[in-house]
Structure 1
Amino acid sequence: MNRQPAIPKRLGLLTAVALAALLAGCAAPGGASNATPQLELPATNAAVPAVAADWWKAYGDPQLDALVDEALRNNRDLARAMARIDESRASLRLTQADRYPSINAGLSGARARASETGPAIAGGIGNDFRATLNVAYEVDLWGRVANAGKAAREELLATEYARETLRTALAAQVVQSYAALQSLDAQVDLFTRAVVAQRDSVKLQKVRFDAGDLSELDLRQLEAELAANEGQLPKLERARGEAERALGFVLGRSPRALLEQNLPRSATAAAVNTSIPEGLPSDLLQRRPDVQAAEARLRAAGARVDAARAAYFPSISLTGSWGRESSDFSKLMDAPSLIWSVMASLTQPIWNGGRIDAQNDLAKARRVQAELDYRDSVAAAFREARDALGAYAEAQASLQILQQRVQALQRAEQLTRVRFDGGVASRLDLIEAERFALTAQASQADARRALAAAQADVFRVLGGGWQPQATNQQQAAHQPGTTS
């Protein structure tokens, strides 16, 4: 009997069921776990000047710019961050694939003998050849797949923000290491010039000592001061070598280059001209990449809670196949060999040893941890910003005071030398005046390093470059992973 006319009715019924399930899935509840907590933030009216994303160029040092660019290209930590982004993108594509039907083709051949005493009709030995096209689809009635996809998208966004955080920190580290090298260069130059001058002086005074015009006390004092300054040079050279190799490692250079390199740099450090905010701009700190990454991870954890909750509800699966089957391979493509099947199934979990409860509790616990991490990241942002601004103000004041001290001690050295030449001051007085002036100049070089380091740290804790009073649309356009 031919019943093929009933097939369209069955297909129509299954299509209607699937369509109703899809529409129900669009209205599935969810999203209650994704709200970002409201935090108590300090009010501020501080004016925030605009700073370019490549803020380190404000130092006006092309060699520093080249080193930062090299670090952003070759640093291995940054390369690992890029690999984590690629991993998150692959995870997102994997979750998105669950939203679509899976289609596969199969071709099989079998030869078997049926039992003569079994329930089936004995057929002896026979062949079975089959070629099918199979389709399977799980209706996302409760939003499990949609929320899993949302979690993956938020994780991808978090990894991109983490990369931006690392880029800012990396640029700040290069600036600070570069300033340290410049400070060590200045100190090596100061002590080298002092040692050269003192060696010449000792030679001259030895001649006077041999002629009886200089006491042994004066000569030994000169030799002791020379030895003290000579002892500083190996320490400074070692520190400079370590600083160069540390910077080379940050730049991602090879082991051979770490040992053979001589990093080019300018002779003096220049303070950046960009104004630094005096207060704590709340909106600016909340746009820090690490804060936004923590918020994205919180939203991802909330989406996973919604996905885990969906496991309590029934799941609907639709499967279908179409193909050919024949005992004779040569007749496999003939019209009578046509086979097809359509099936819809509904599965409701009843008891599984508490697995669903455990997965739901696990997702909720992880969301609590993500919320605490987010709160800590915001609090840490304000704490770091306050500390960095305080360190910057201190570095500015210290450098100004040291500049005044250097001027005063250099003038004191000149006056002591005049008094010594006039026979009023002793040689010990002159040696001490020279030592104080030299030490002050070395401290001034280190204070310049501290100021550059403090400036770089302010840029880092404020999230790098920023624009004042940016609109939400402008902020979204600058989010990682967005295109215009």
Structure 2
Amino acid sequence: MPLIPSASSISLRQALAASLLAFGLAGCTMGPNFTKPVPAAPSDWTSWRSGDPSLYGTIGTDASLHADWWRAFNDPVLDELVRRGFAASPNLQTVALHVAQARVQRGDAAAQALPQVQASGQVTRQRQSEYGAGTRLLDVVSGSSSGADRDALVKLLSEPFTLYQTGLDAAWEIDLWGKVRRSLEAADAAVAQQAALLDFARLSLSSDVTRNYFDLRTTQRKIMLTREEIAALRERTDLLSARTAGGINNGFDLERQRSELQGLEAQLPPLLAQEALQANQIAVLLGERPGALSELLKPVADGGKPSLPDLALGLPSEIALRRPDIRAAEARLHGATANIGVAKADIYPSIRLGGGFNLESYRSDNLFDWASRTWSIGPSVSLPLFDGGRRKRVVLLRELEQKEAAVAYQHTVLQAWQEIDDALNGYTAEQQQNAKLAARVESARDAFDLATARYRGGIITWLDVIDSQRAMLQASRDLADSNGRLGTRYAALNKAIGNSSASAEAK
């Protein structure tokens, strides 16, 4: 056994020593660590409210509304529409693809921490120059620049030949300053952001489908009531026409009645166009062509006021954590913070461990002989010396982006509570108005029943009965509008509090 180590063993030891030093430094991570923000929230549901205290209502904190909140309407058509929307909505599919893209990019970031291995193979036909570097080396070694032997050797070396090469090359950049770790952290934050946006898209879809559905049902109800009112006016017009022909009434009353009838009939075509428009809006949300949902969305008998549960929203602090847009803003802030570390790591030196094992031969039958091997191993260092301040400006840019994300997060939280307050006030006000309109309909129905009884007793004329019927129909139309708004207000409230199954799981 030789007592003096060979040059190759010394070089290998030096490479291993450099590698061990790099491993020792690899625990350093540049940039600030992310601290999860706690969104601001009121202590109870009477704080952070605007408007009259009569709109505050009573909100339970021991439970929360069901995540599939649209099922509270007990409407199988609405349930089917939401189900179809979740399965086929183009917007939802687009956002889901964004999530998939973010996950692929996360995998790409994770791959940076692994060694990169590449196999190669090459066959080339070559010819050496008779006056190239090899010929000069021949002249230096032989000590002569002329002679028949020299010329013959040069011609022999410059003859075309085929070179066969194959092998493996490997490289690994050691994560000295945590660039890869920060990149992976930023990629994880991007996945979380896109997942939150997907949850927000699902919540928006269910809210939009519900809102458009109740707008459609309200329009259909108004069409039905308008047709009933038109029929009543036509009957009244016919009576006035007969009374005028008999000399009981004058022509002025008849023409005024005809003008009122024509005005009411003029309201019907826009309502029919509005019905078609709202049906198309639902179809677009579900990724369907116009008219594809005609059978499903055909008019139904009036269901009356929606039967909705009492408001039980849980704790305000839980609502702030549940909203998907707040979670998306938090993930964006997390990613911006991690990107500062990525930019700072670029300022410092990088070390790559590289190695290769290759086979090379100008004879195909000797390519895989052990004597045809070539190999290399060792670290390489890259030290940025001058770039005109580009890397430092990138760090400054990332820090400014992080501050922008922090401001956006605070704005998202503030806007969330504004939307919650608006939704609560709107829903409570609609409930109160709906109760008054329902009482008005009951009074109008009682007046119509009384007028009918008085007509049968010969106390009043049939025209008075028709007037009572029209008043009842108008009150019913106003109540139908309120019932539709109550449904849309309930949808807006659930959207405002971020109420969805995915939000509940994320919380």
Counterpart for residue 471 of structure 1: none
1-structure distance, mates of 2:84, 2:15: 60
Q: Aligned residue for 1:28? A: 28
2:57 maps to what in 1? none
Task: Report the 3-state secondary structure (helix = DSSP H, G, I; strand = E; otherwise coil) of the residue aligned with 2:506.
Answer: coil
Q: Distance in 1 between matches of 2:313 and 2:111?
A: 50
1:50 to 41, 64, 85: 64
Residue 139 of structure 1 is aligned with which of 155, 159, 174?
A: 174
Displacement after TM superposition at 1:52 (Å): 2.9
Describe the SS at the equivalent of 1:200: helix
Q: Tell me, what secondary structure is at the counterpart of 1:34?
A: coil
Amino acid at match of 1:74: A
**Which residue does the alignment assign to 2:53?**
none
- Counterpart of 1:354 in structure 2 is 389
Shift of 1:181: 1.4
2:80 is equivalent to residue 70 of structure 1: no
Secondary structure of the equivalent of 1:353? coil
Taking the aligned partners of 1:239 and 1:308, their CA distance within structure 2 comes to 55
Q: Map Cα deviations across residues 297-328 of structure 1 (whole Å, 9 max, x no partner).
A: 11011000111010111100111100211122
**Alignment match of 1:87 (pick from 82, 97, 101):** 101
- Checking the alignment, whether the CA contact within 8 Å between 1:280 and 1:382 is kept in structure 2 is no
Contact 2:63 2:313 in 1 (8 A): no
3-state SS in 2 of match to 1:352: coil
State the Cα distance separating 1:430 from its structure 2 match: 6.5
Identity score, percent = 27
Output aligned runs, 1:30-429, within 5 Å.
30=30, 32-37=32-37, 40-44=40-44, 47-110=61-124, 111-116=126-131, 118=133, 119-121=136-138, 123-125=157-159, 126-255=161-290, 257=292, 263-264=297-298, 266-267=300-301, 268=303, 271-277=306-312, 281-415=316-450
Please give the alpha-carbon distance, in whole angstroms, between the structure 1 residues aligned to 2:263 and 2:92.
43
State the match for 2:472 in structure 1.
437
Write the distance in 2 (CA, Å) between the matches of 1:266 and 1:23: 74
Return the alpha-carbon distance in structure 1 between the equivalents of residues 13 and 307 of structure 2.
72
2:506 aligned residue: 479
Give the Cα–Cα distance (whole angstroms) in 2 for the partners of residues 278 and 135 of structure 1. 57
User: Structure 1 178/265 Cα, relative in aligned 2: closer, same or farther at 3 Å?
Assistant: farther
Q: Compare 398-407 and 294-303 and name the one that shifted more.
A: 398-407
Q: C-alpha offsets along residues 337-361 of structure 1, whole Å, 9 cap, x if unaligned?
A: 1111012111111111222022112
Match of 2:51 in 1: none
1:272–1:289 distance in 2 versus 1, CA, 3 Å: farther
TM-score (normalizing by structure 2)? 0.84
**Gaps in structure 1 of 5+ consecutive residues:** 468-473
Question: Which residue does the alignment assign to 2:18?
Answer: 17
Distance 1:148 1:38, change over 3 A: same
Inter-partner Cα distance in structure 1 for 2:411 and 2:205? 22
Residue type of the alignment partner of 1:97:
A
Normalised by the length of structure 1, the TM-score is 0.88
> CA shift at 1:53, angstroms?
2.4
How far the C-alpha of 1:271 sits from its partner, in A, is 2.3
- Offset, 1:117: 5.5
Using a 3 Å threshold, how does the CA distance of structure 1 residues 210 and 220 change in structure 2: closer, same or farther? Answer: same
Q: Is the 8 A contact 1:222 1:431 kept in 2?
A: no
Q: Relative to 1, partners in 2 of residues 1:420 and 1:232: Cα closer, same or farther, differing over 3 Å?
A: farther
CA-CA distance at 1:19 after TM superposition: 3.9
User: How many Å apart are 1:278 and its aligned residue?
Assistant: 7.0
Distance 2:39 2:119 in 1: 54
Hey, what's the Cα distance between the residues in 1 that align with 2:397 and 2:342? Answer: 12
Q: What is the Cα deviation at residue 149 of structure 1? A: 1.2
Deviation at 1:186, TM superposition (A): 1.4
2:142 alignment counterpart: none
Cα displacement (A) at 1:9: 5.3
Bigger shift: residues 367-376 or 384-393: 367-376
Q: 2:306 is paired with a residue of what secondary structure?
A: coil
Deviation at 1:429, TM superposition (A): 6.9
CA distance in 2, matches of 1:283, 1:30: 33
Which ranges in structure 2 are unaligned for 5 or more consecutive residues? 46-59, 139-153
Q: CA 1:286–1:11 in 2, change beyond 3 Å: closer, same or farther?
A: same
Cα displacement (A) at 1:334 = 1.1
Q: 1:172 to 1:449 in 2, by over 3 A?
A: same
Kept in 2: contact 1:36–1:298 (CA 8 A):
no
**Mapped contact 1:44–1:281 kept (Cα < 8 A):** yes
Question: Do the aligned residues in 2 keep the contact of 1:182 with 1:265 (CA within 8 Å)?
Answer: yes
Q: Distance in 1 between matches of 2:282 and 2:474?
A: 26
What is the distance in 2 between the residues matched to 1:225 and 1:185?
Answer: 22
My pick for the range that moved more, 411-420 or 36-45, is: 411-420
What is the deviation of 1:407? 2.1
Shift of residue 371 of structure 1?
1.0
Work out whether residues 225 and 431 of structure 1, in 8 Å CA contact, stay in contact via their aligned partners in 2. Answer: no
Instruction: Tell me the number of residue pairs that the alignment of Structure 1 and Structure 2 aligns.
Output: 469
Q: Is 2:232–2:466's contact at 8 Å kept on the other side of the alignment?
A: no
Distance 1:214 1:427 in 2: 14
Aligned residue for 2:379, secondary structure, equals strand
Q: Which has the greater radius of gyration?
A: 2
* 1:397-440 deviation line (CA, Å, top 9, x unaligned): 01001111222233344556667888987998766654443322
Deviations 1:265-322 (A, max 9, x none): 6432552433324787122222211100110111011000111010111100111100
Distance 1:335 1:278 in 2: 76
1:164-220 Cα deviation digits (max 9, x unpaired):
001011101111111111111211111112222332343344334333344434433
Task: Write the deviation string for residues 106-148 of structure 1: whole angstroms up to 9, x where unpaired.
Answer: 1123313144363544643454322111001111110111111
Alignment check: 8 A CA contact 1:179 1:269 kept: no
- Look up the SS of the partner of 1:312 in the other structure: coil
CA contact (8 A) 2:98 2:194 kept: yes
Specify the code of the residue in structure 2 equivalent to 1:68. Answer: V
